[in-house]
A and B are shown apart, each in its own frame.
Chain A
Amino acid sequence: MESSNTDAIVSIINQEFENEILQIEEPYKILTISFKQERIIEIIQFLYNHPELQFQFLTTLCGIHYPDQNQIAVMYQLHNLKTNQRIRLKVFLPEDKPEVQTLTGLFSAANWMERETYDFFGVIFIGHPNLKRILNVDDMIFFPLRKEFPLEDQTREDKNDALFGR
């Protein structure tokens, strides 16, 4: 089962990057830490190399759009395959200038994941070797997973949330 010695992990990260941490939570047994964006790659590098933590497997990486806060979050989920410990890291980027350093130097797997995040959210990964659209067509002019991008015909009234008291 997934182990839960999260206190030890939090204290190690706290020692090194106390000023970078915005929030620590643990929804559904996965330690989730939100960081300021400037040193995120350094932090992941630290988690990768630290002898006790060794988060050396990048499970997934994705973007999340929060239109209310005008922010786009990038979520990194790492896994230590030896101790079976997972950790989720988040950085929040401003909607009008979403830029963060690339993780491709550490994980080859991040290459397409970051391209996907760019493709759908417009997050610029600084230093990425080949940052272009991956799933959508190259000449698309918007980022479809942002919340303001409508999915269906917005004139349809039968799917209007307001009609159902929401």
Chain B
Amino acid sequence: MEKDLSHIVKEEVRQYSYLNLGPTHPATHGIFQNVLKMDGEVIIEAESTIGYIHRAFEKLAERRPFYQITPITDRMNYCSSPINNIGWHMTVEKLVGVEIPKRVQYLRVIVMELARITDHLICNAVIGVDTGALTGFVYLFQQREHVYEIYEEICGARLTTNLGRIGGFERDFTPKAWAKIEKFLKEFPAVLKEFEALLVRNRIFMDRTIGVGGITAERALNYGFTGPNLRAAGVDYDVRVMNPYSSYEDFNFTIPVGTQGDTYDRFMVRQNEMWQSLSIIRQAIDKIPAGPFHADVPEFYLPPKEEVYNNMESLIYHFKIVMGETDVPKGEVYHSVEGGNGELGFYLISDGGRTPFRLHFRRPCFIYYQAYTEMVKGSMLSDAILTMSSMNVIAGELDA
């Protein structure tokens, strides 16, 4: 499908203006700079500059023992940090070859799907805000708060969670955590339904989003799109289904796909994924087996405190873990999980030392955001804002 660019008038008769959208602009929800060449309201050309919050995570990781890298991953896609944490843990487990108990896998699925809901929820609420509907945002953010309370109950933190350990969880879910999850599962569907009633068939919302910032499946694949943005273009690639990890093969769920790859489709794909996530959490809770909440890996998993004080072996393990003295096998491993924005990959080369020799994060945002300039070409300025928020570009993940 060729993009209709006939309304861009030839250069010699027009006078253009340049507009700096960003780096700090309230409508871009993050630090992104785009220099736009404008013909009135129409964008003729755009150039993105990124890197404003670059923190050199890949270099930092080369000096840190494996367990200290988890907090770094928090700060990539901070809207769904548990997925990043668990993805990293699973990468190390894959390298070491740890057998993970079924219960841990199911607990992880529950947390990761909660994180996916919060991620999509923020994105969709913000699409609403950018079209002028602030109401839905307020209702959904109240629900996000409930999920953050669940995180708090599980790991003690809210946004940058540092959740779980290599091998499992630091503690089992408390009865209070389970109660909060149940409460969320009971209350959230009604809110989500109300939110859909507010926007999905809303004439203004549809006019603002349908046909805005579209991309074809071919271009999306060529640009390395993954996640909801790729699925909105009609490609049903989902890491959870293609390469199941953490027992995703045990659950029944569908992958929502769009057809046009435009803002409305991205919105709808995320919306339907939230329903699927709710169903996965329900299935996981119903099927969860009893058992330990962490794997038996004393070299990586901190022993309980009473053991450390009373048992020589545990004390040694404790010391070795805290000092980052644990040896890991040599190897080269790639593990990917379906993050909030798509395939989040960890490419880890270990030379057997205490730290990674090289750690590369495949950040979905970084890869698909480069298509933005192509997607906004020929569109109105207000549509460009909407395109960016519907792509869910997270500055932390973009810049790493």
A residues whose Cβ falls under 8 Å from a Cβ of B: 1-2, 27-28, 30, 32, 56-60, 62, 64-65, 75, 77, 81, 84, 86, 88, 107-109, 111-113, 116, 120, 133-137, 144-145, 149, 151-152, 159, 164, 166
Contacts and interface: CB of A to CB of B under 8 A. Distances in A.
B183 interface: no
A71 to B, nearest CB: 13
Contact of B54 (A1, A32, A136, A151): A136
B237 interface: yes
Q: Which 8 A-B pairs have the closest CB atoms?
A: A109-B224, A135-B51, A60-B362, A135-B54, A62-B360, A28-B333, A27-B332, A112-B370
B37 interface: no
B347 A135 contact: no
Interface residues of B, number: 44
Contacts of B343: 59
Contact of A135 (B50, B244, B323, B358): B50
Interface of B: 50-51, 54, 56, 58-60, 62-63, 94-95, 219, 221-224, 235, 237, 242-244, 323, 325, 331-334, 336, 343, 345, 347, 349, 353-354, 358, 360, 362, 366-367, 369-371, 399-400
Contact of A60 (B58, B235, B345, B400): B345
Nearest to A159: B63
B367 A109 contact: yes
A84 B54 CA distance: 33
B60 A151 contact: yes
A135 B399 contact: yes
Interface hub of A56, A108, A145, A159 (most chain B Cβ within 10 A)? A108
Contacts of A164: 323, 325
Given A108-B371, A164-B325, A59 B62 contact: no
Contacts of A113: 367
Nearest to B357: A64
Contacts of B360: 60, 62, 75
Contact of A30 (B323, B334, B400): B334
A108 B242 CA distance: 23
14 contacts: A59-B336, A60-B345, A60-B360, A60-B362, A60-B367, A77-B334, A81-B221, A81-B237, A107-B222, A108-B371, A109-B370, A134-B51, A151-B59, A164-B323
Contacts, number: 92
A108 B223 contact: yes
B347 A144 contact: no
Contacts of A135: 50-51, 54, 399-400
A108 B222 contact: yes
A75 B360 CA distance: 11
Contacts of A86: 334
A6 B243 CA distance: 17
A106 to B, nearest CB: 8
A60 B344 CA distance: 10
A159 B62 CA distance: 13
A65 B325 CA distance: 24
Contacts of A2: 243
A59 B362 contact: yes
A135 B53 CA distance: 9
A145 B367 contact: no
Contact of A28 (B219, B334, B367, B371): B334
Contacts of B336: 59
A145 B59 contact: yes
Contacts of A166: 353-354
B265 to A, nearest CB: 19
Interface hub of B50, B221, B244 (most chain A Cβ within 10 A)? B221
A56 to B, nearest CB: 7
B224 A28 contact: no
Contacts of A1: 243-244
